[in-house]
Amino acid sequence: MNISVVIPLLNEEESLQELYAWIARVMEANQYTYEVLFIDDGSTDRSWEIIDKLSTQHTQVKGIRFLQNYGKSQALHAGFDIANGDVVITMDADLQDSPDEIPELFSLITEKGFDLVSGWKKKRYDSVISKNIPSKLFNWAARKTSGLKLNDFNCGLKAYKNVVIKNVDVYGEMHRYIPVLAKNAGFSNIGEKVVQHQARKYGKTKFGYDRFINGFLDLITIWFLSKFGKRPMHLFGALGVLMFMIGFAAAAYIGGMKLYKLAYDMPTILVTDNPWFYISLTTMMIGTQLFLAGFLGEIILRSRRDKDHYKISETTNTNA
């Protein structure tokens, strides 16, 4: 199979039939073999009913329905898990991503040898204040921390080699930084393509202002994992040992000075009356805790990761 199109969605009943018809026209015009995977992330409208109907009419359509809203990352994870195409295309269901971009994205993967190609919505039709400016800040911060020279990390329109999506674990809200996850997994040939962005035709955006805070927190997590995710002991253990040694040296100095003054009949105070003694003890305790954090992190990394990020209530045509 040439292409799998993975489409996460939430309450997009108005656009689904139009989106599939558009995708089908592009695929048939280019004679691609394909599948379209709709991942219903707990919609409360008629989205699943429409997906179910499309899957009975077209063998290329497959659907997964979540019991509740788990988030875009979990929806992508579920779609990636069953995608069979040599090239996997992701796009949003709101018709703001154009299926006409698929042939060139497919060519960049199959002929140019890219592992991942990320779309760049150079000209956007979103609100300047609520989306454009925050997106620019996110992308600037992501470039600085990841080293990837992409202009639009969060564009929903992307193309991947199948091997990439099978080796990238998208969880939490990390869908914004899939190119960074791919780079950390060892896929270095990552490119970018300017894509057409269209004004929303139906409904309204599902993203609120909380996504900006979550985005920055996720970026910090990605940076930390890329630096110390495989060896947490290198950070926590080193800091813990350093703080413990500083605290121990300070406590030893305080005790030594106490003994020295007693030996020469010099005036002195109880060790427990010295505030620096408690500071040194606190430093040793914090150092011990940091060391244990690194040790526990190493143990967790050696344990099997729990991949049950969501619960599925229904599927349709996934074995076709």
Structure tokens at 290: 């940091």
CA angle 228-232-236, nearest 5°?
A: 110
308 domain-assigned: no
What is the pLDDT at residue 154? 82
**What secondary structure, in 3-state letters, does 108-173 show?**
HHHCCCCCEEEEECCCCCCCHHHHHHHHHHHHHHHHHHHCCCCCCCCCCCEEEEHHHHHHCCCCCC
Based on the fold, state whether residues 53 and 192 are members of the same structural domain.
Answer: yes
Distance CA 77, CA 61 (A): 18
What is the pLDDT at residue 197? 80
Q: Quick one: pLDDT band at residue 230, thresholds 50, 70, 90?
A: low
* The pLDDT of residue 84 is above 90: yes
Based on the fold, state whether residues 186 and 113 are members of the same structural domain.
Answer: yes
Q: Quick one: pLDDT band at residue 195, thresholds 50, 70, 90?
A: very high
Based on the fold, state whether residues 174 and 84 are members of the same structural domain.
Answer: yes
User: Strands 3-9 and 87-90: what pairing?
Assistant: parallel
Based on the fold, state whether residues 247 and 162 are members of the same structural domain.
Answer: no
316 domain-assigned: no
Based on the fold, state whether residues 82 and 185 are members of the same structural domain.
Answer: yes
Q: Look at the chain and report how many structural domains it folds into.
A: 2
Structure tokens at 296: 């526990």
What is the pLDDT at residue 87? 97
Based on the fold, state whether residues 22 and 136 are members of the same structural domain.
Answer: yes
Structure tokens at 134: 């925050």
Q: Quick one: pLDDT band at residue 265, thresholds 50, 70, 90?
A: confident
Span 214-222, mean pLDDT?
70
What is the pLDDT at residue 180? 87
188 domain-assigned: yes
205 domain-assigned: yes
Based on the fold, state whether residues 204 and 289 are members of the same structural domain.
Answer: no
pLDDT tens, 39-83?
999 999 999 999 999 999 999 999 999 999 998 999 999 999 999
Among 164, 193, 228, identify where a domain stops.
228
User: Strands 312-316 and 61-66: what pairing?
Assistant: antiparallel
When comparing pLDDT for 143 and 13, which is higher? Answer: 13
Range of the domain at 33: 3-228
Based on the fold, state whether residues 82 and 123 are members of the same structural domain.
Answer: yes
117 domain-assigned: yes
What is the pLDDT at residue 211? 62
Beta-ladder partners of 197 = 97
Instruction: State what percent of residues in the chain have pLDDT above 70.
Output: 84
Based on the fold, state whether residues 123 and 170 are members of the same structural domain.
Answer: yes
319 domain-assigned: no
Based on the fold, state whether residues 184 and 279 are members of the same structural domain.
Answer: no
DSSP string, 244-263: HHHHHHHHHHHHHHHHHHHH
Among 174, 205, 228, identify where a domain stops.
228
Based on the fold, state whether residues 213 and 258 are members of the same structural domain.
Answer: no
What is the pLDDT at residue 222? 67
What is the pLDDT at residue 307? 47
pLDDT tens, 273-296?
889 999 999 999 999 999 999 888
CA distances from 33 to 59, 83, 85, 114 (A): 11, 13, 9, 20
Based on the fold, state whether residues 68 and 186 are members of the same structural domain.
Answer: yes
CA distances from 208 to 47, 80, 139, 197, 212 (A): 21, 26, 18, 20, 8
Among 200, 228, 256, identify where a domain stops.
228
Distance CA 139, CA 145 (A): 10
What is the pLDDT at residue 102? 97
Per-residue b or e along 107-127, where b marks 16 or more CB atoms closer than 10 Å to that residue's CB: ebbeeeebbbbbbbbeebebe
309 domain-assigned: no
CA distances from 45 to 84, 198, 201, 247, 295 (A): 28, 23, 17, 60, 47
Give me the CATH number covering residue 208: 3.90.550.10
When comparing pLDDT for 173 and 74, which is higher? Answer: 74
| Helix (H), strand (E) at residue 180 | helix 178-184
What is the pLDDT at residue 320? 56
